[in-house]
Amino acid sequence: MEPLIRIRGLSKRFGPGCSRCLEATGPEQHTNLCPHCGSVMACNDVSFDLFRNEALGVVGESGSGKSTLVRLLHFEWEATEGTVEMHRSAGIASLPEIFADGSDYSSNLLGLSHFQKRRLRNALMGIVYQNPHLGLRMQVSSGGNIAERLLGAGWRHIGNMRQRAAELLKITEFPVERMDEPPCNFSGGMQQRVQIAKALSNNPLILFLDEVTTGLDLSVQARVLDLIRNLRSEFNLSMLVVSHDLGVINLLCQRTMVMKSGHVVEFGLTDQILQDPQHRYTQLLVASQL
Amino acid sequence: MITVDNLSKTFTLHILNGKRIAACRNISFSVPPGGFLGLSGPSGAGKSTVLKCIYRTYLSTNGAIHYHSASYGKVDLATLPDRAVIDIRNREMGYVSQFLKVIPRVSALDVIMEPILARNGVSRDAAKKRASGLLERLRIPSHLFDAYPATFSGGEQQRINIARAVGWKPRLLLLDEPTASLDTNSIGIVLEILKELRNEGTTMIGVFHDTTLLASVTDAVYHVG
C-alpha cells in the first residue's frame, strides 16, 4: 500500500542560519541552538511516510521538535526546507490543480498559496492541542466553536451545523444539553472533548494529536485515550500522535519515531522501540519510564 | 515455512557505557509447514530472544529469518520493512507472551474477539461465539467474561492470553512459556487446543519450561545455549 503522505527532508530554522548550523546542532551536540549564529534548528531533515488508518507515534523530550513538526504539517508555520506530498486517493476535489496529470502524488504542499493550504487543511486535517486555548475560543459557545469550523469547510445552514455539532459532541461523550455554554465553563477533560469534536467535524483524513492527555488527571486521561482509540477504527483516521508519554504511544501507535534536538534518531515498531531501543537517547528515555 | 539462519542478538547498552550483552548466538533451525518446534535450554540461554527476533520485537544483530509468507512470499523477517511486519502480524503471525499485556479497560471477551473480528472477517455474533467457547473450554468462569483481565489471577490472565492468540487461528504461532503459571488441568486443556490448531495447519515454535511437556507436544526440539 502506498503512503497517504510522504514527508521528505522537512526542516525548520528560527533565525538567520549560517554555514555551521547543521554541524553544530543535533542529538550528538545535545542542542538545537547554533552557537555561531544563534539560530534554532527546531526540526532538521525529518523524513517519513504516513499511511492510511495508521497511528504513528512521535516521542521525545521537550524541545526535541515534536510540536514543530506538527505545526509545519498543519501549515501553521512555514518550513525552511522539505517536501510534503499527498496521495491522489486523498480525494481533494476542491484542489485538482495540485495533481499533475497522471502522477499519484501531489506537488509539494508546502509550496501552495495560503489560500490553497487553508482549503486543504479545512478539507483533510484536524488537530487537537495540549492547550485547549490554542484550539478553542473560550468565550464562544462549545457548539459555536464546532460551527465555526464547519463554516470553514463550506457548511452554511445553521440548523444542520447545530445538528452536526450535537452529533459530534455526543460521540465525544460531552453533555450535549450544555453545548451552548462556552468551553471556559468546563473542566480540562471536557475542553479536550470539545477540541476533539471540533477536529473531527470536517471528517478529516489526518488527525494531529499534540500531547492531548498531558495535564489531565489519570481517570480522565484514560477515558480520552479510550475515545481516541475508538475514533481511529470508526473514522478510518491517520493519526500523528505526539507525546512524551511512552504509555500513550504504546496504547495508540503501531509505529513510532523518536526525536531529539530536532532530529529523528530512531524509527521502528512501537514494541521494538520500547523493548529493544537502539539509540542512546531512546535507551535513556525507556529506562527513565516509571 | 520458516528457517532461522545463523541468528545472533547482542544488546548494546549505551547507558552502561556501551556494554554489550550477547543474548543468543548462531541459532539455526528450520520448521516445515504445520510443524511444531520446541526450544529448550537453561534460563537466560536466549530462547525468548529467538522468538522476539522472529516477531521483530527485537532487531536481530546478525543472521536471517526466512519466512514464507502467505501474502508477501519469501521474506526475511530480520530486515523486512516495519509496515510489512505489521501486516504479517495482523494476518499471519501470532505471539503468546509470558505475561498478559492487553489494552486496559477492555473486557475479557472483547480482548479475544478483537483479533477475530479484525482478522477473520466474521460477524460479531460468530466472533463472540468463538471467543466465549474458548473461555468456557479454558474454564474461565462466565461471570468474568465482561470483567477486565488486568484484575484476574495469574493463571486466568495466562489463559486469556492464550485464547487471544489462538482465537483468530494464526498461520504461524510463537509461544513463550504459555503454560508456565497454569495447573495440570489447565495445561491439558491448552495442549488440546494447540493440537487442534495444528490440525488446522498452524505452524508453531514454542518455549516450554517443562522438558517432558516439550517432548510430548513438539515434533522436534532445538537446543539453545
Domain CATH for A217: 3.40.50.300
| pLDDT digits (tens), chain A, 290 positions | 799 999 999 999 999 989 998 889 998 888 999 999 999 999 999 999 999 989 999 999 888 999 999 999 999 999 999 999 999 888 777 777 888 877 889 999 999 999 999 989 988 999 999 899 999 999 999 999 999 999 988 889 999 999 999 999 988 889 999 999 999 999 988 999 999 999 988 889 999 999 988 877 787 888 888 888 888 878 889 999 999 889 899 999 999 999 999 999 999 999 999 999 999 999 999 998 76
Grid cell for residue A47:
523524513
Cα dihedral B172, B177, B183, B189 in deg (nearest 10): 10
Which residues lie across from A98 on neighbouring strands? none
CA distance B29 to chain A (A): 23
Confirm whether the ipTM is greater than 0.95: no
Pairwise CB contact (< 8 Å): B83 & A275 = no
Domain range B1-92+171-225, CATH architecture? 3-Layer(aba) Sandwich (3.40)
Pairwise CB contact (< 8 Å): A269 & B105 = no
Q: Searching chain A, which residue's CA lies closest to the CA of residue B103?
A: A251
Which chain B residues touch A246 with a CB distance below 8 Å? none
In-domain check, residue A156: yes
Please name the member of A222, A254, A283 whose beta carbon is closest to the beta carbon of B13.
A283
Which residues lie across from A33 on neighbouring strands? A40
Pairwise CB contact (< 8 Å): A226 & B83 = no
CA distance B125 to chain A (A): 19
Can you give the residue range of the structural domain that contains A130? 53-79+115-287
How many domains, in total, are found in chain A? 1
Whole-structure pTM value = 0.90
Question: Rounded to 5 degrees, what are φ and ψ at B107?
Answer: -70, 160
Domain borders along chain B are 1-92+171-225, 100-169
Please report, for residues A95, A227, A246, B49, the alpha-carbon distance to residue A196 in angstroms, rounded to integers and kept in the order given. 26, 9, 21, 41
In-domain check, residue A122: yes
Which chain A residues touch B82 with a CB distance below 8 Å? 255, 267-269
In-domain check, residue A218: yes
Pairwise CB contact (< 8 Å): A287 & B58 = no
Q: Searching chain B, which residue's CA lies closest to the CA of residue A257?
A: B82
CA distance B31 to chain A (A): 24
